[in-house]
């Protein structure tokens, strides 16, 4: 019973947009996607990168950190 109650508590019944309330899952997904795209933006490819050697940094091989250990 507690698990069912928690699931109901975490469920988003409707979302409000400019045109009113939306109830279907597809409409809620669209409203959420539009909202976060507008507020967070989208990713763009980088055109520049840093040359760490030119900045005086030496690269350290950390590959051994990914090896299994016991």
With a cut of 70, say whether residue 3 has pLDDT above it.
no
The share of the chain scoring above pLDDT 70, in percent, equals: 89
Q: Which residues contact 13 (CB under 8 A, 6 or more apart)?
A: 23
Structural domain includes residue 28? yes
Of 45, 12, 52, 46, residue with least CA distance to 29: 12
With a cut of 80, say whether residue 24 has pLDDT above it.
yes
Structural domain includes residue 69? no
Structural domain includes residue 10? yes
Structural domain includes residue 30? yes
Q: Where do we find the tokens 């975490």?
A: 10
Integer Cα distance of 34 and 40 in angstroms: 10
Q: What is the mean pLDDT of the chain?
A: 87
pTM equals 0.50
Name the residue range of residue 11's domain. Answer: 1-44
For 10-68, where are the E strands, in sequence order?
Answer: 15-17, 20-22
- Reported confidence tier of residue 42, pLDDT bands at 50, 70, 90: confident
Count how many domains the chain has: 1
Q: Where do we find the tokens 């690269």?
A: 59
Structural domain includes residue 64? no
């Amino acid at each position: 019973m507690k698990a069912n109650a928690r699931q109901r508590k975490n469920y988003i019944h409707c979302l409000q947009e400019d045109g009113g309330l939306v109830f279907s899952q597809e409409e809620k997904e669209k409203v959420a996607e539009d909202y976060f795209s507008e507020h967070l933006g989208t990713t763009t490819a980088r055109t520049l990168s840093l040359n760490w050697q030119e900045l005086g940094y030496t690269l350290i091989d950390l590959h051994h950190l990914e090896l299994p250990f016991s």
